[in-house]
Structure 1
Amino acid sequence: MLELFTSETPNGWKATILLEELGVPYKVTPISLTNQEQKTPEFLAVNPNGKIPALVDDGFAVFESGAILLYLAEKFGRFIPADAQGRSRAIQWVMWQVAGLGPMMGQATVFNRYFPEKLPSVIDRYTRESQRLLGVLDAALEGRDYLVGDYSIADIACFPWVRGHEWAGVTLDGLPNIARWMANIGARPAVQRGLLIPTPPTAEEMAAKTTTQGKSILA
């Protein structure tokens, strides 16, 4: 049995979307970031970096969301091209997301939403870089439905982060290829299911989470 330790974040949804697309049985263990459960000794035994998501497959632990996508795609032989060059292209976009789009949009979110002080120059730096990266993605989607031919882990890696663009303070204005791509992926039943795992927080819980994150962001 696969066991996924996760929370309701873009990186967490990458894993749940792929697991739902694969249609394989798995157990979900929700991790409360507000309560710092990702820093407990029990979780650190699975992921020494103390971040979600983490996957355990018959005692074998996999951490880092990009590594989880690659592990599952290769284990089940789906959502990754079979040829060497196609596989490389998919992995390149996964790496692009984990090294660029995710960190930049994550920092834009932190400084727009959670940081106790408003630092305009810092907010501008991360917002502009996030916007630039979205332009790169839009250009890559010109004339194609998905990033590397068929729908793959490349698209699954990027989708949850782009979906949260408003929360990060960036816009999809003038990016028609992304808008089309988002609509196509968002219509997939497995994607819709994956975005509900774990159960999304209520508006009241989100407000409390924002306050808590703002107080603890420097911890």
Structure 2
Amino acid sequence: MQLYYSETLSPRKACAVAHNVNAELDFVFVDLGRGEQATEEFGRLNPNHKVPVLVDGPHSLWESTAIMCRLAQITGSDLWPTDDRQAEVIRWLTWDALQFTRFGVELYFRNLIGPHVGLGPPEPDAVREAQTGFRKSAAILDAHLANADWAVDSTPTIADFALGAALPYAVGAAIPFEEFPNISHWYARLCALRGWLEPFPKR
């Protein structure tokens, strides 16, 4: 089994989960700068030409959330629960994609990626708008975490890995999550999990 990745946000989630659940797989680095994801060969693994991709024999699975689920499933990890918590995990995954990490990704792209791909410095108004959106969603998560250690119940799930995706880049991306004490405490717990701080294999 192989996990195709690059050192960017979505592959980070999959790689971190892979380490956390001790998945037996090979990591395959895809050099986005050299356009390796744009090849016809890679397109047969993922027609979207994006990473991550999990390849298991003749089967390939793309989209980081699906890969996180699959890695937890095949290793028997409770990161993807099979009881009543599953619907709650799906709720937070969906909300995160549309709200919390959506704005984190925008700040990550504008402040860290855009200047390096020829887009010039970020537009201040666009950054402020994204920060406003982030703060609104962060207030909801912060209130939830006032009475919970993790997004769902008392143990971590893939929802926590998704929610934390952009936060390792918070300083450079100007993501103001440290304004929210409960999120900060939760993120410290996330950082203590195996694979979170160093999810990418050494090359």
Give the TM-score of the pair, scaled to structure 2.
Answer: 0.87
Q: Equivalents in 1 of 2:10, 2:108: separation in Å?
A: 14
Partner SS state of residue 102, structure 2: helix
1:174 to 174, 179, 197: 179
- Aligned AA for 1:96? W
By how many angstroms is 1:56 displaced? 0.7
Q: Deviations over 1:25-68 (max 9, x none)?
A: 11011011222221111211111111111111122111111111
Q: Pairwise mapping of residues 62-141 of structure 1 onto structure 2 (< 5 A)?
A: 62-78=61-77, 79-83=79-83, 85-113=84-112, 114=114, 115-116=119-120, 118-141=122-145
Query: 3-state DSSP class of the match of 2:60?
Result: strand
* RMSD of Structure 2 on Structure 1 (CA): 2.0
Q: Distance in 2 between matches of 1:100 and 1:47?
A: 26
**How many angstroms does 1:89 deviate by?**
0.5
SS in 2 for 1:163: helix
Q: Does 1:53 align with 2:52?
A: yes
> Cα distance, 1:123 vs. partner?
2.1
Matching residue of 2:29: 30
User: Where does the alignment leave 5 or more consecutive residues of structure 2 unmatched?
Assistant: none
1:160 aligns with 2:165: yes
Distance 1:173 1:185 in 2: 14
- Deviation string 1:99-123 (CA, Å, 9 cap, x unpaired) is 3333322222222331325423222
Would you say how many aligned residue pairs link Structure 1 and Structure 2? 196
1:184 aligns with 189
- Mapped to 2, the partners of 1:106 and 1:65 lie a distance apart of 14
Aligned counterparts of 1:8 and 1:152: Cα–Cα separation in 2 = 22
Shift of 1:193: 4.2
What per-residue deviation string (whole Å, max 9, x for no partner) do you get for residues 137-177 of structure 1?
Answer: 22221121111011111111122322222232121233111
2: distance between equivalents of 1:80 and 1:34?
33
Shift in CA distance, 95/180, structure 1 to aligned 2, threshold 3 Å:
same
Q: 1:39·1:50 contact (CA, 8 Å) conserved in 2?
A: yes
The alpha-carbon distance between structure 1 residues 155 and 28, as it changes in their structure 2 partners (threshold 3 A), is same
SS at match of 2:177: coil
Q: 1:135 to 1:49 in 2, by over 3 A?
A: same
TM-score normalized by the length of structure 1 = 0.81
Structure 1 Cα separation of the partners of residues 100 and 50 of structure 2:
17
Q: Deviations over 1:13-32 (max 9, x none)?
A: 11111111111211011011
